[in-house]
Structure 1
Amino acid sequence: MLKYISNKLEDPNFPLLGPNIKALKFWGLILPEISSKKWMYIAFHLSVIIFTATEYAEIWFVKKDMNLLLTNVKITLLATVSVGKVISFLIWQNNWKSIIDYVNEADKTQRQILNSDKRAIIENYTKYSRKITYYYWLLMYMTVVFVICQPFYKYISSEIYRESVRNGTGGYTEVVSSWVPFNKSTIAGYMMASLYQSYAAIYGGGWITSFDTNAIVIMVFFRGELQSLRMDCSNIFGTENSVVTREEARLRLEICHKRHLNLVKYSRMFDSCLSPIMLLYVIVCSVMLCATTYQITFETSALQRFITVEYLIFGVAQLFMYCWHSNEVFFVSKDLSLGPYESIWWTRELSEQKDIKILTEQFKKPIVFSAGPFSEITVATFISILKGAYSYYTLLSQSQEN
């Protein structure tokens, strides 16, 4: 069954990005060409954006309850990031399509080369991309299922909660805390609100998974392309046992030069599309991790603590995967300049050695992705965010004790 589903997600036209492209189209981040379907997806997007606004409105009504306030704030901020992702993707849709087309064409070009070492690189990053995509989807929808089901589970498992609902001393537990223009303390109102909240949670989860896995797989490709380029640079002049002609070496050098120019061009375009979202991500994750850690410490319900822990794991995983894969691209790009010097350059004429020197200088500037103009997306940044979140948590805990 799982193999059948995974095969259905593959696309021979997109050997690397197949599942990611289908997810982007299914959740409407890549809008269809047919006008009716296009406006249908825009209506879906607007409905979830409006729902996010109602989450902000609800903050006013729950501000006196610290636990409800923190729960609302962390979910609302995550929803804000999701809205930012989809809006940015729609605004810069042409840029994203250009990046996807470049990745797809460059990937397919390398797949046609019958080189065992290069094919090993391609197979490794393809398998890795599938694992990242499917595990991320699983983690996201486990979180969504827990969030949707926890009110019903609480009602079934807690006799005290059921009694408080029946005698009117306690309210219904919502899927996601949000404001609605009707009375949600009645059964009918609560069910209507829960349906809307569940729909928004599922659709928002689709936004997050499709955007994040696409961006992360593109980062994985950049790393693989850098590794492949370094390998080709080391073979510009052939080997000591199989030396190539001057004309062939010149052609290989020009191909490496052009590949690197395209790699830099599209990595910068990718960074320009991703950077504003990552800046928002860094700010939101700091607050969200702080709030979630605080709730785990003071939560008395085992179910709520489990859901909060799972939510914390998902929040940390989201940020970590961006920082880790950006970090890998950065360090592989720093080593790219070693590629030309791994060739047999010392056996060539002085003019060819000068060409190698020029190519090496071109490779020296590393590729690094950023979170706005303030910081780079690296593992060091991730650790700094965790330290900052812990500091906020300590401050919040001490203020509550006082």
Structure 2
Amino acid sequence: MHRIFAFFQKILRPYHGSVKFKNIISQSIREIGLWYGPKTYEIYGLAKLSILCFLGTNLTQIIALIMARDDTKRIFAYFSVLSFCTMGFLKLWSLFRKEKRWRSIINQASSLENEQLNNSYTPYEYESDEESDYGFSKYIDSYTKNFFLISTRLFQIYIFTAIVYMVSPFLEHGIYLYTGQPINSIPHILPGWYPLDRYTFAYIVTIFVEMLAALYCVKVHIAFDLTVIGLMIFIRGQFSCLHDYSELIGGKGKSCDISKRRDERALYRIKNCHRIHVLLIKTNHELNELIRNILGIYFFVATFTLCSVAMQLSWEQVSVMQLTSLLQYMGATLTQLFLFCHYGNAVLNESCVGQGRGPSCATIWCLSVKVRREIAILCVGMSRCYRLNAGPFNLLNLPSFIQIIRTAYSYYALLRQTTK
């Protein structure tokens, strides 16, 4: 019993006190029972019960969806919840089955940060022209604080949505009892096929299973979303840091005389910029391979879900609690979709460096012709943009988000016109 209460306490607590990019991600993944030990594919004991409840409720939802094939309203109501739970299962499967790849990309990012924060003195990184050592730490602190803020807000939004969703059926049932309105069935947290509702003990156990499954599903979404968003924030922040660092390849340029020592320092910085750039490209490619299929499915499901919510909102008989549940569910879906598209768009914009930024702004007048040639090659290499994909057809950017919103709104407007 103590472990059960400890598990629920871990589920409901917000993030606090952590300033490490890797720690925030690791904490969220461990809270769903994964990556606890050094062994791959190891699952925490109590999480197995949560996963079993989660899969069981998904199965009952599928059965209920099949049984309601002649009832359009019930089909749309079931589909909205089932799609959210199905995406949770796909995210859980990705974190579990591809644990080695996820760990590799996270450790790779963390190693780069540690190297930049603990960079030792090199004979080429000397002070010249009143130039001090370049501070990687301020960039790392900046995007880590941004990630910490996003993780806290995302946690609060998801948990608030989960609480409202779990409480609303029972609150609506109580209002019906108080006002004397007819009641068709007893309340459930998750819609599904429940043949044992006539037994009190079985109903109580079912509600407990639904509550555990709903909370675990939300935590899976939090863990996966924070992992993906955190890596996108890392890539964007490191690209921005790299562009500013590459501007200092030749120093501040206050001394115009060409020296061998300054050329050696410039060549060292060029090699360092190239190494970091290649590492970021590799990280972006590996992340894209891990998320493109899941987010491609999610884009389709999110579009269909928003359209189904729009159809339910167009119905004349929608109770206050149903309206509240639909609106907060739609808000959570849009928030999740916007964060993916926003930071995917940020990676796209920061990955390429144009004229007037990066190595093209280096003080080449105090460097030799050979070093200038190397800077020109570096400029060409850093001028390419790198994208994140959501399936085979969509890009992870803001235009894709706007297109989904337009599709859902057009569908809602069409339904409103046809019902008049």
TM-score by length of 2: 0.85
Contact 1:291–1:393 (Cα < 8 Å) also in 2: no
1:219-256 C-alpha deviation (Å, 9 max, x unpaired): 11111100110011001111112686111111111011
**d(CA) in 1 for partners of 2:197, 2:22:** 43
Partner of 2:230: 217
**d(CA) in 2 for partners of 1:61, 1:398:** 31
**d(CA) in 1 for partners of 2:182, 2:133:** 69
1:278-331 C-alpha deviation (Å, 9 max, x unpaired): 101100100111112222333531122112111110000000000000101101
Q: 1:206 aligns with which of 214, 219, 222?
A: 219
**d(CA) in 2 for partners of 1:35, 1:218:** 21
Q: 2:193 aligns with which of 166, 169, 179?
A: 179
Partner of 1:18: 23
**d(CA) in 2 for partners of 1:7, 1:67:** 38
* SS of residue paired to 2:187: coil
Partner of 1:333: 351
Partner of 2:399: 380
Partner of 1:342: 361
* SS of residue paired to 1:38: coil
Measure how far apart 1:59 and its partner are.
0.6
**d(CA) in 2 for partners of 1:172, 1:275:** 40
Measure how far apart 1:42 and its partner are.
4.8
Partner of 1:85: 91
* SS of residue paired to 2:362: coil
**d(CA) in 1 for partners of 2:305, 2:329:** 10
Contact 1:275–1:369 (Cα < 8 Å) also in 2: yes
Q: Which residue identity is paired with 2:190? A: V
**d(CA) in 2 for partners of 1:289, 1:366:** 31
Partner of 1:228: 241
Measure how far apart 1:374 and its partner are.
1.1
Change (3 A) 1:174 1:7: closer
Q: Which residue identity is paired with 1:388? A: T
Contact 2:60–2:192 (Cα < 8 Å) also in 1: yes
Partner of 2:158: 140
**d(CA) in 2 for partners of 1:332, 1:120:** 17
Contact 1:25–1:32 (Cα < 8 Å) also in 2: no
* SS of residue paired to 1:235: coil
1:78-109 C-alpha deviation (Å, 9 max, x unpaired): 11111111111212111100111012122233
CA RMSD of aligned residues (A): 2.6
Q: 2:321 aligns with which of 303, 323, 330?
A: 303
**d(CA) in 2 for partners of 1:177, 1:183:** 14
1:57 is the counterpart of 2:76: no
- Aligned pairs, number: 389
Measure how far apart 1:360 and its partner are.
1.3
1:125 is the counterpart of 2:143: yes
Q: 1:261 aligns with which of 256, 278, 281?
A: 278
Deviates more, 1:322-331 or 1:107-116: 107-116
Contact 1:164–1:171 (Cα < 8 Å) also in 2: no
Task: Identify the structure with the greater helix proportion.
Answer: 1
Partner of 1:104: 110
Measure how far apart 1:19 and its partner are.
2.5
* Runs of 5+ consecutive residues of structure 1 not aligned to the other structure: none
Partner of 2:206: 193
* SS of residue paired to 2:21: coil
Q: Percent identity?
A: 21
Deviates more, 1:60-69 or 1:363-372: 60-69
Contact 1:172–1:185 (Cα < 8 Å) also in 2: no
Q: Which residue identity is paired with 2:30? A: K
Contact 2:314–2:412 (Cα < 8 Å) also in 1: no
Deviates more, 1:88-97 or 1:15-24: 15-24
